[in-house]
């Protein structure tokens, strides 16, 4: 880790449930790819391996991004917000970031009239990424 800034050099996982939001951002384009959750164990593994590791609330365990799909995130930079309660990962994304096969999880734009517009093209069909047991 780098030098402490105003006494904070590590995310504050001392919150109910021990989970912090972690935003993955494309390091080249700046596009927000996804939001996931990290506990301290996921954060430490991310820092050690240079690959994004999250805590899956639905699985109740660590989730190494790409473990099922092969669409891993290589972490180039880790930023912590001013309150030390949100993590920003600048990553190189291999393949789709979204489990629905889109480059980003933010592929639906809500129009003022309530209609939804798809603003990204699907890279892969989920059935081509995951086996039935992983969906």
Enumerate the domain spans of the chain. 16-95
Would you state the pLDDT for residue 8?
Answer: 56
Joined together, the tokens standing for residue 80 give 């912590």
Would you state the pLDDT for residue 97?
Answer: 97
Would you state the pLDDT for residue 130?
Answer: 82
How far, in Å, CA of 76 to CA of 51, rounded? 9
Kindly tell me the number of DSSP H helices and DSSP E strands found in the chain. 2, 8
Note whether 97 and 113 are within 8 A (CB). Answer: no
How far, in Å, CA of 54 to CA of 100, rounded? 18
Would you state the pLDDT for residue 94?
Answer: 97
Q: For residue 33, which phi and psi values (nearest 5 degrees)?
A: -90, -45
Choose the CATH number for 16-95 among 3.40.640.10, 3.60.15.10, 3.10.20.810, 3.90.650.10: 3.10.20.810
User: Model confidence over 15-29: pLDDT tens digits?
Assistant: 999 999 999 999 999
Residues contacting residue 56 through CB under 8 Å, at least 6 positions apart = 36, 37, 62, 63
Q: Which pTM does this prediction carry? A: 0.87
From the list 116, 107, 104, the residue with the least C-alpha distance to 32 is 104
Residues of the chain with pLDDT under 70: 1-8, 131-135
Burial class (CB in 10 A: 0-12, 13-18, 19+), 123: middle
Note whether 87 and 78 are within 8 A (CB). Answer: yes
Would you state the pLDDT for residue 129?
Answer: 85
3-class state of residue 74 by DSSP:
strand
Would you state the pLDDT for residue 2?
Answer: 43
How far, in Å, CA of 39 to CA of 53, rounded? 9
């Amino acid at each position: 880790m780098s030098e402490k800034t105003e006494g904070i050099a590590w995310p504050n996982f001392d919150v109910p449930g021990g989970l912090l939001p972690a935003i993955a951002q494309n390091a080249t384009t700046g596009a927000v790819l996804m939001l996931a959750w990290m506990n301290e164990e996921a954060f430490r593994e991310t820092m050690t391996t240079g690959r994004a590791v999250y805590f899956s609330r639905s699985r109740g365990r660590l989730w190494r991004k790409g473990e099922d799909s092969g669409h891993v995130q290589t972490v180039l930079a880790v930023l912590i917000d001013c309150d030390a309660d949100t993590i920003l990962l600048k990553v190189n994304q291999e393949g789709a970031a979204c489990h629905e096969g889109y480059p980003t999880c933010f592929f639906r734009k809500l129009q003022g009239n309530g209609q939804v517009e798809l603003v990204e093209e699907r890279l892969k069909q989920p059935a081509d990424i995951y086996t039935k047991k992983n969906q």
